Structure 1
């Protein structure tokens, strides 16, 4: 009898651990505003766009007050943020910080665009006509750990979408082998990367 009770308790515990809990990145959470915080710093901390925070809290302005409780909507999962940060490091190592944010923004813009997969993982791992969307996925450079600046750039891109003006593509014209990209509408140049849509 004791074995059955113990086994039942064990099964319930394992089930709760595996299926019953979600991370704060995967579910709505609540944040109490501290003095000196802004929607930008809160969005950057949680990796959530400011517009999403405003929408979740029925706000039309950026004004917030210390002590106010804000609903923070679900964001990109921790594993997807890590994947994005590893891609940013692989694609934009040695580029200015704004360029790292813009690379992360390209991924997010693709997720939102009808012509691309609708998940971060799907966008980063996309293969079309035998060509990888991002060369670091093919050559394995994406497997290196992300550095602190790439992690920060991803969080900023998630919170504010950074620079990039709706960019869906980027390339380095000095080393690009696919010249089709040069036919796309140029949006901005940051460091060695040309961004386009």
Structure 2
């Protein structure tokens, strides 16, 4: 009985640790086997293979920390809703086909965020920034069209002003 119990635990651990890999596009598929659309992924980021959305449980702690530091640097002095919206923009970019596939790649994309360029990304995040990241992760899909944000009083890029603003929170405009 003890052997059976141990085998059951081993099999449970083994099965739960497997990742479902996307179907190979050119593979021959039997009539009985259909590939769901959600089995195809933008790239091979392990977190995207694990879940259809970026859920909190699938985000590495170092990615949450990086995102919280960006939120802290970008939205210091902004209302909590503005901090959540900043984190949401990053998460939406990860999911969008025109942007990189990981939080780190989105944040460090060339010229994407001022705190990366001026070094303030390296300052520690406060508790409210971490809470904003968690809320943005839990509210995925709520504002999934938001891909950009800027402060109209300080922005210098004419291109950013061409984006359609769909929400204003504090000093930031959020756009698509």
Normalising by the smaller structure, the TM-score range is 0.5 to 0.7
Residue 170 (1) aligns with residue 153 (2): no
The 1-side partners of 2:119 and 2:163 are apart by 27
How far does residue 161 in structure 1 lie from its aligned partner after superposition?
Answer: 3.1
Number of corresponding residues:
128
Aligned mate of 1:160, from 119, 139, 142: 139
The 2-side partners of 1:89 and 1:167 are apart by 19
Aligned mate of 2:126, from 147, 162, 166: 147
Aligned mate of 1:87, from 70, 73, 84: 70
- TM-score normalised to structure 1 length: 0.60
Range with bigger deviation, 156-165 or 83-92: 156-165
Corresponding residue number in structure 2 for 1:115: 98
The 1-side partners of 2:108 and 2:57 are apart by 23
Q: Which runs of 5+ in 1 are unaligned?
A: 1-25, 29-51, 56-71
Between structures 1 and 2, the one with greater strand share: 1
Q: How has the CA–CA distance of structure 1 residues 133 and 195 changed in structure 2, closer, same or farther, with 3 Å as cutoff?
A: same
Aligned mate of 1:105, from 64, 85, 88: 88
Residue 138 (1) aligns with residue 121 (2): no
Q: How has the CA–CA distance of structure 1 residues 114 and 147 changed in structure 2, closer, same or farther, with 3 Å as cutoff?
A: same
Corresponding residue number in structure 1 for 2:27: none
